[in-house]
Amino acid sequence: MSAEPAQQKTRKEEDAPDIDTTGMSKGKREALEMTEASRDSHWTYPTFAGALFMGELPWNLVYPLPLLADDEHERGEKFLQDFTKFLHDNIDPDEIDRVGEIPEEAIRGLAEMGAFGIKIPKEYGGLGLSQLYYSRAAMIVGSYCASTAALLSAHQSIGLPQPLLQFGTEEQKKAFLPRCARGELSAFALTEDAVGSDPARMETIAEPTPDGKHFIVNGNKLWCTNGTLAKMLVVMAKTPPKMRNGREINQISAFIIEADDPGVTVSYRCRFMGLNALYNAVIDFKDVKVPRENIIAGEGKGLRVALTTLNTGRLTLPANCVGAMRASIEMAKKWANEREQWGATVGKHGAVADKIAKMSATLFAVEAMTYLTSVLVDRKKTDIRIEAAMAKMFGTEAAWDLVYEAQQVIGGRGYETAHSLKGRGEYPYSIERLLRDMRINTIFEGSSEIMRLFLAREAMDPHLKAAGKAVNASLPMGQRLGAAMKASGFYMGWYPKMWLPFGGPSTAGMDDRLATQVRYAKKTAKKLARRMFHTMLSYGPKIEREQVLLGRFVEIGTELFAITSSCTYAQHLIGKGRDRKELVNLVDFFCRESRLRIDNHFRGLKNNNDRQGYKLAQQVLGDAMPWLTDGTVGEGPIVNRE
């Protein structure tokens, strides 16, 4: 018998993870335990979107949306104006796409106007603007040039400024933030050959020197955006493990490494389907000596730094997507209005009109989710990890669908490059570039699949806290019984409330049609909470394996967040003078579409082919049905290219 089960038996209740990892493979258990140990297990501030999964709609957290201080407003608007003009005058997105480089003068100009230090406080040389203005700048650049958007965001959203602002010591802030604000670029290096979303497989190692004052870093990092230009790198590396309950717990630390330190080499510039001017690198680290003071947030806290940085950082992606969606709709509108086929402009044909309506409503919803979450970040009274993940997941998927549909509306010219269109004297629609650039957004900074897992984990958190230990087989029976008693007390209070229609959100001052949608969201949140609870009861700890099923709960919660964001944002805009009727029609249409999707997800909880699909996939992945892929050239394209 291995030593492990005996150790687990002596595990103290407070040390036990909320999720039962017994019975998991070693790889899965290590990955899960490492991520669990690094996630924020406490909710210092309330969560709006997270509460939906528990049948609550804490409407007062999001309605009314707060207005910005006048000074912030003026400075922010001025920056956005200058930024827009600068992009227009100095950036040619189609040329950048064609040659795969952003002109150096343009990068210098962006640095001079402070575009690399938008959120860095003024005392460290930045513009000191809010998350909201940062997101709005991301929308503007996202509408125009995705490569430039990535340059700015890899530096500010995941590069050095964000983790330093959240975790840096005063010395670190003083040493690095002014450089970041001046436009010395930074990059974030987590991914490796074997590390996509599973950091437990990390092979980059940082070993302390005998005097403990330095670490020696060895390894290599893949796909490091801005890596070929960066002066400073945030590098995740394994540091010596800690012992806990007789078991080695892997540690990851976040190091600030100067790109010109001896032993740091950019060994390759990667090129992609889109983002043609991405400065993305493979970086090798050979005996790189890094002072201990360059660890962010302390030894062993690296994964926490990475996860927390991404909580806010990934909000830039839906913001960029909002921009690209706006540009796509503009182009689709132009073609749908100008192009006549079969006796009418194509926009008058039902199939095309349906696309334009759905695209417009979806754009508004993603803008609303991003705007609201940005405001919540600025207000600092709400935990936004769930909101940002929902905005990222929903926004990037919706944006991909939208650009795809816009290309469909524009037809063949949507498939032709802008350069080619221009060459034969036509309007240079750039939807083909937008589609290529858009594709990566559901993959990086937390793929859609990982976002669904993350959201499912956070959605279940209150239940795991209340009852997880009662069903955790790694705990002694006595502790489990005690936990079960506590859990029953919690559920006796909580469960009946999920059936009672009381406690509706206060929608005073809201447009009636918007208020109706908010009430629907409240009622549906209760249904969501009941169904999730029943499902957790029937599956027990095995629920964790049901990714597709859990995904449906995540979708419903996300749709409810989209509905409520749209309503509060619309009301905010009405207050600022935007046309009420137009806005309410737009939001009402989005909500109706969203409700159809929600109904479908609820139906799918009972009526689905999940099991059959899983089995079929395993057969296909195994030896069954080799004829399915017959008919490829040679032995198949992959083999021939090796």
What amino acid positions are annotated as catalytic residues?
Answer: 445
Q: Residue 100 interacts with ligand FAD (CB under 6 A)? A: no
Decide: 463 and 55 in contact? Cβ < 8 Å.
no
The residue among 199, 177, 178 whose CA lies nearest residue 189 is 199
Q: Residue 19 interacts with ligand FAD (CB under 6 A)? A: no
Within its chain, how far is the Cα of 483 from the centroid?
A: 34
Strands 205-208 and 186-189: unpaired
By C-beta, is 270 or 605 nearer to ligand FAD?
A: 270
Tokens at 443, concatenated: 């993959």
The residue among 316, 367, 295, 377 whose CA lies nearest residue 158 is 316
Within positions 335 to 364, which residues make up the interface with ligand FAD, using CB under 6 A? none
CB of 189 vs ligand FAD, minimal distance in Å: 5
Q: Residue 272 interacts with ligand FAD (CB under 6 A)? A: yes
Q: Residue 613 interacts with ligand FAD (CB under 6 A)? A: no
Q: Residue 444 interacts with ligand FAD (CB under 6 A)? A: yes
Tokens at 527, concatenated: 């249904």
CB of 368 vs ligand FAD, minimal distance in Å: 26
Q: Residue 223 interacts with ligand FAD (CB under 6 A)? A: yes
The string of DSSP letters for 381-446 reads SS--HHHHHHHHHHHHHHHHHHHHHHHHHHTHHHHS-HHHHHHTTS----HHHHHHHHGGGGTSSS
DSSP 126: S
* Of the residues 47, 153, 186, 191, which one makes contact with ligand FAD according to CB under 6 A: 191
Q: Residue 258 interacts with ligand FAD (CB under 6 A)? A: no
The residue number with the shortest CB distance to ligand FAD is: 196
SS3 content of the chain, % helix, strand, coil (to 5): 60, 10, 30
- 139 to 158: interface string for ligand FAD, x by CB under 6 A: ---------------x----
* Gap between the Cα atoms of 233 and 603, Å rounded: 47
Q: Residue 400 interacts with ligand FAD (CB under 6 A)? A: no
* Of the residues 280, 374, 517, 564, which one makes contact with ligand FAD according to CB under 6 A: 280
DSSP 342: T
Sign of CA dihedral 187, 192, 196, 200: negative
What stretches of 82-132 adopt beta strand conformation (E)? none
By C-beta, is 251 or 276 nearer to ligand FAD?
A: 276
Q: Residue 220 interacts with ligand FAD (CB under 6 A)? A: no
CB of 185 vs ligand FAD, minimal distance in Å: 12
Decide: 569 and 372 in contact? Cβ < 8 Å.
yes
DSSP 154: I
How many residues form the binding site for ligand FAD (CB under 6 A)? 23
Q: Residue 190 interacts with ligand FAD (CB under 6 A)? A: yes
Residue with tokens 């974030």: 188
By C-beta, is 35 or 407 nearer to ligand FAD?
A: 35
Task: Provide the residue type at 639 as one letter.
Answer: V
CB of 188 vs ligand FAD, minimal distance in Å: 5
* Of the residues 139, 390, 440, 487, which one makes contact with ligand FAD according to CB under 6 A: 440
By C-beta, is 146 or 525 nearer to ligand FAD?
A: 146
Q: Residue 450 interacts with ligand FAD (CB under 6 A)? A: yes
Alpha-carbon dihedral angle through residues 456, 458, 463, 464, given to the nearest 10 degrees? 100
Q: Residue 561 interacts with ligand FAD (CB under 6 A)? A: no
Q: Residue 303 interacts with ligand FAD (CB under 6 A)? A: no
Q: Which stretch binds ligand FAD (CB under 6 A): 168-176, 178-186, 441-449, 606-614?
A: 441-449
∠ CA 2-5-10, nearest 5°, is: 130
Q: Residue 565 interacts with ligand FAD (CB under 6 A)? A: no
Q: Residue 196 interacts with ligand FAD (CB under 6 A)? A: yes
By C-beta, is 19 or 68 nearer to ligand FAD?
A: 19
Q: Residue 225 interacts with ligand FAD (CB under 6 A)? A: yes
Residues in the chain: 642
Q: Which helix (H) or strand (E) holds 573?
A: helix 547-575
CB of 313 vs ligand FAD, minimal distance in Å: 10
- 529 to 548: interface string for ligand FAD, x by CB under 6 A: ------------------x-
Residue 608's SS3 state is: coil
The residue among 346, 369, 324, 328 whose CA lies nearest residue 567 is 369
Sign of CA dihedral 152, 369, 324, 399: positive
Q: Residue 255 interacts with ligand FAD (CB under 6 A)? A: no
* Of the residues 95, 449, 546, 610, which one makes contact with ligand FAD according to CB under 6 A: 449
Q: Residue 224 interacts with ligand FAD (CB under 6 A)? A: yes
By C-beta, is 218 or 547 nearer to ligand FAD?
A: 547
Q: Which stretch binds ligand FAD (CB under 6 A): 124-132, 162-170, 222-230, 569-577?
A: 222-230
Burial-class residue 342 by CB neighbours within 10 Å (0-12, 13-18, 19+).
Answer: exposed
Whether a cis peptide bond, with omega within 30° of 0, leads into 64 is yes
Question: Where does this chain bind ligand FAD (CB under 6 A)?
Answer: 154, 187-191, 196-197, 223-225, 272, 275, 278, 280, 440, 443-444, 447, 449-450, 453, 547
